[in-house]
Structure formats: C-alpha cells, structure tokens
C-alpha cells in the first residue's frame, strides 16, 4: 500500500513533502508517435549538457512503469494510436502528458493525410501543449515545468484524467 | 546493552543518511565530470519519496515479497555490521538479500526482467567469491572473523593487504552498479536492457529497492573502511577515496559484456587475492 492510499490524516506536512518531491523528481518517457524527428531531436537536446534538465531532477527513462511524464511528439495515426494508449495505460499514477510540436497538438502539416487521426489529445488526455515546428528546447523545458505545477497531492487515481478515446 | 541498542540504531540510520548522501554526491560529481550542473544533493530523497507515493503496480505477490525480503536482509546486514558481529554472518545475510532481488525480477515474465535477473546472477557469481577471499584475508591477518577483533587490530589492514583492498574496490564497482560492470541495472536511469532488473518494479517497490541500495552502499563502504579501522576519520577517508575512485571509473569506462565481466572480474580478482594471500602466508610462516 503506498503512502497515498492511506486515509489522509497525517497532517499537511506529509502531503507537502510528497508534492515537493513530485515536482522535483519527474522522470519522463519520450514517445515518438510518428513525428518527422525534428521534435525528437529537440527533446533529446534538453538532455545534453547545454540544457541539462537533470538540474531539475528530470531523468529520461525507457520504461512506462517508472515514468511520471509522457512526452509525445508527432501525429497519431491509425496504426500507432493503440501503442500510445497502451503506453499511457502502463504508466503508474500520478501521470501527466505533454504534447510537443504542431503535429502533436493538432496533426500539423500531416493533418489532412487520410491515415492521420490528428493531435494526441484525440487519444489520451493532454496536460500541456508546447507549440512550434519544432519547438525550441527552452519551450519544451518550460512546458514540462508548467505541467509539474499540476501535480496535486491527491490520491494518485484522482490525478489521472479520464482517457478520452482510448482504443 | 544500551550501547548495543545505540549501535543498532546508528546502523539503521546510516543507510538512509550516508547512503542517500553518497548517492546524491555521486550524481553531482558525475554531472560535473560530464560538464553539467547536476541535480541538488538531496535529489535521491526526492526520488524515493516520489516513488513511495506513486500508485502500487505489482505483477504478482512474489515480487512484493522478494522486495521486502531484499530490503530486510540488507538492513539486517548493515545493523549486524554496526553491532560488530561475525564477518561471515554479515556476508551471508548480504548474499541472501542480493539473491532475493534476483528472485523478484525472475517472478515476472518480462524478457527484459529475466535477462536482467540472469545478468545480476552473473554479477553475484563474480563478486561473492571475491568478497569471501577478502574476508579470509582479514581472518588470516587478525585471526578472527569477529569485527570486534578486527576493529581492535593495531595496524591498518591496508598496509598488510593492499591487493585485497584493490579486490574489494572491484567488488565495490559491481555492487554500486557502476561502469564497466553495470550489466544488470545501471544506477543512472537508462533504457530497457541496462535497467533490466528493475523493468517490472515500479512506484513504492522501486523506492524500497533504492533504499535497500543505500544500505548496500553503506555496507560496502564500511567494508572498505575496515581496512583502516583506526577510528571514524580514517574509515571515512578510506571509504570516500574508494567512492571517488569508483565514480571516476564509472565516467571513464564503457560497459563490458558478461563474458568480460567474468573474465576480468575473476582473473583480476582471484589473481590479486591469491598473490596477496600467498605473500602474506610466507611472511607469517
Ligand atoms: S511539429 Fe514540425 S518538427 Fe515536429 S514532428 Fe511535426 S513537422 Fe516535425
């Protein structure tokens, strides 16, 4: 049983500590959902010594079970919608999603293609949209920091927005 | 009696305090070596608190049982060390803890987890004999496996057993999950295979494993300190020097595959220990 699942009677300090820890230690999972790779290169640039996101405790993990944030670049199409939903479902609550780039927001220049469903919010709930084609690393870091403010102290289950059209 | 209780409590506290700080220091130093700024010193504590507060996802009950046993055995080993118990008893307790982690990873059917578990077993296979050789060396020198006797030994062990200290540093690299021997689970978060062992552990269980890793770190560093057991200051100095060496090694080397691990680990470890032991026997005889 995790700390959060116990009834809330430990006073405010424990919850404040947990929220502080969540904000200071986001582990992110990056999923290329059919992007042209422009956005992916910018996401990876955030991890280089120049931007060094480990300053904020951000670590890039390859396992949805360990991740707190899901960074998605690119459009959703009929093939990868299932994969995206699966990754989202495998993450342990509380979890947040950041959509990156014009493609991730709305489908971008691929919007009209007939295999493209659109932005990733058509499949999973998105907490922060980072516009740009591709967005600069600073913008991506800003988006991640903003989404961190939305980590509540509540029950992990309550922190999960309802999935929309999860296939 | 009250002295014993005090020591036990000190052992219990040493894990989270010293282990966590060592881990934080490691992350900062590694970042600086890579021309980055790195996270704050208290980052490992943030990580663990966050993990403990996450949703609990378990694949099956065995997994949770194995993690609890792993943590219990590791904590017990550190407490036994603080109580200055028998060296062999501490080593066996530590080995049981290590094996429980492997069993936890094997309890899941994920292929990454399975491969990670096998690699971890190989690592245990490499370092356990070396650890026992170190213990035997200490026994030959001091005439006892009991830590009370080792602590009262007048000359620093490192002057008598320098090569065995080198072997212990080799074990330290494997135990702290550092390059070139971080096959089963690298400390810094990486992708699938090199995080293999932890693939199916998540949230609170991963947090407990991290806490157990702090205790393991403290135990191994205490072992290093044993080689200059003339008080707290020399012990800490020696342990810190060992940690610095390991961090440098981690950043300067690439990951080896398991054949190299077996080859290098055993060849270097066994040769160094045997040379030291034979030389020591001749000196004594
Ligand atoms: S937003 Fe631009 S850079 Fe990013 S994936 Fe789409 S087309 Fe490529």
Q: pLDDT tens digits for B202-255?
A: 889 999 999 999 999 999 999 999 888 878 888 889 999 999 999 998 888 888
The reply to whether residue A65 touches residue B37, judged by beta carbons under 8 angstroms, is no
- Phi and psi angles of residue B255, each rounded to the nearest 5 degrees, phi first: -75, 135
With respect to residue A66, please indicate whether it lies within any of the assigned structural domains.
Answer: yes
Instruction: Tell me the C-alpha distance between B93 and B86, whole Å.
Output: 11
CATH code: domain of residue A81: 3.40.50.12280
With respect to residue A163, please indicate whether it lies within any of the assigned structural domains.
Answer: no
E-strand stretches of chain A: 27-32, 59-60, 69-73, 76-77, 96-100, 116-118, 128-130
Burial of B136 (0-12, 13-18, 19+ CB in 10 A): middle
Q: State yes or no: ipTM above 0.90.
A: no
The reply to whether residue B188 touches residue A59, judged by beta carbons under 8 angstroms, is yes
**Beta carbon of A36 within 6 Å of any ligand 1 atom:** yes
pLDDT score, position A167? 53
**B34: chain A residues, CB-CB within 8 Å:** 49
**B201: chain A residues, CB-CB within 8 Å:** 65
Counting the structural domains of chain B, the total is 1
With respect to residue A11, please indicate whether it lies within any of the assigned structural domains.
Answer: no
Counting the structural domains of chain A, the total is 1
pLDDT score, position A11? 61
DSSP code at position B16: I
A128-130 sheet: strands from edge to edge: A59-60, A27-32, A69-73, A96-100, A128-130
**Beta carbon of A80 within 6 Å of any ligand 1 atom:** no
Range in A98-102, A111-115, B21-25, B187-191 the model is least confident about: B187-191
With respect to residue A144, please indicate whether it lies within any of the assigned structural domains.
Answer: no
pLDDT score, position A1? 41
* Residue ranges making up the domain that contains B13: 2-284
* Residue ranges making up the domain that contains A44: 26-136
A142 within 8 A of A98, measured Cβ to Cβ: no
């Amino acid at each position: 049983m995790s700390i959060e699942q116990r009834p809330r009677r430990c006073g405010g300090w424990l919850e404040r500590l947990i929220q502080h820890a969540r904000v200071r230690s986001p582990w992110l999972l990056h999923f290329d959902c059919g992007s042209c790779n422009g956005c992916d290169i910018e996401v990876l640039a955030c991890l280089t010594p120049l931007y060094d996101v480990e300053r904020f405790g951000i670590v890039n993990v390859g396992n949805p079970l360990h991740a707190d944030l899901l960074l998605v670049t690119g459009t959703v199409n009929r093939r990868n919608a299932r994969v995206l939903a699966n990754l989202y479902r495998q993450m342990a609550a509380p979890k947040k999603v950041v959509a990156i780039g014009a493609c991730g927001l709305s489908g971008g220049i691929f919007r009209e293609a007939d295999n493209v469903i659109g932005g990733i919010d058509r499949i999973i709930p998105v907490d922060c949209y980072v516009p740009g084609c591709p967005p600069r690393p600073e913008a991506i870091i800003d988006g991640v920091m903003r989404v961190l403010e939305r980590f509540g102290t509540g029950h992990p289950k309550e922190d999960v927005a309802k999935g929309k059209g999860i296939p | 009696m009250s002295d014993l209780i005090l020591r036990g409590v000190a052992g219990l506290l040493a894990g989270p305090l010293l282990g966590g700080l060592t881990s934080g220091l490691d992350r900062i130093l590694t970042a600086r070596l890579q021309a980055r700024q790195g996270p704050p010193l208290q980052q490992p504590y943030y990580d663990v608190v966050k993990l403990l507060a996450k949703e609990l996802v378990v694949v099956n009950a065995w997994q949770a049982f194995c993690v609890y046993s792993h943590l219990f055995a590791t904590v017990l080993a550190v407490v036994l060390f603080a109580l200055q118990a028998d060296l062999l008893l501490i080593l066996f307790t530590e080995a049981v803890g290590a094996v429980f982690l492997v069993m936890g990873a094997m309890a899941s059917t994920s292929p990454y987890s399975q491969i990670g578990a096998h690699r971890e077993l190989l690592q245990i296979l490499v370092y356990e004999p070396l650890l026992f050789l170190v213990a035997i060396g200490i026994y030959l020198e001091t005439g006892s496996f009991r830590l009370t006797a080792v602590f009262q030994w007048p000359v620093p062990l490192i002057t008598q057993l320098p090569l065995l200290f080198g072997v212990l540093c080799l074990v330290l690299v494997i135990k702290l999950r550092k390059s070139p021997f971080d096959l089963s689970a690298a400390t810094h978060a990486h992708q699938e295979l090199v995080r293999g062992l932890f693939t199916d552990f998540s949230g609170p269980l991963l947090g407990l494993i991290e806490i157990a890793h702090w205790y393991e770190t403290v135990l191994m560093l205490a072992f290093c300190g044993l080689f200059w057991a003339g008080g707290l200051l020399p012990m800490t100095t020696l342990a810190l020097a060992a940690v610095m060496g390991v961090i440098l090694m981690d950043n300067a080397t690439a990951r080896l595959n398991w054949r190299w691990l077996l080859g290098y680990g055993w060849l270097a470890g066994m040769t160094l220990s045997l040379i030291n032991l034979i030389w020591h026997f001749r000196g004594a005889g």
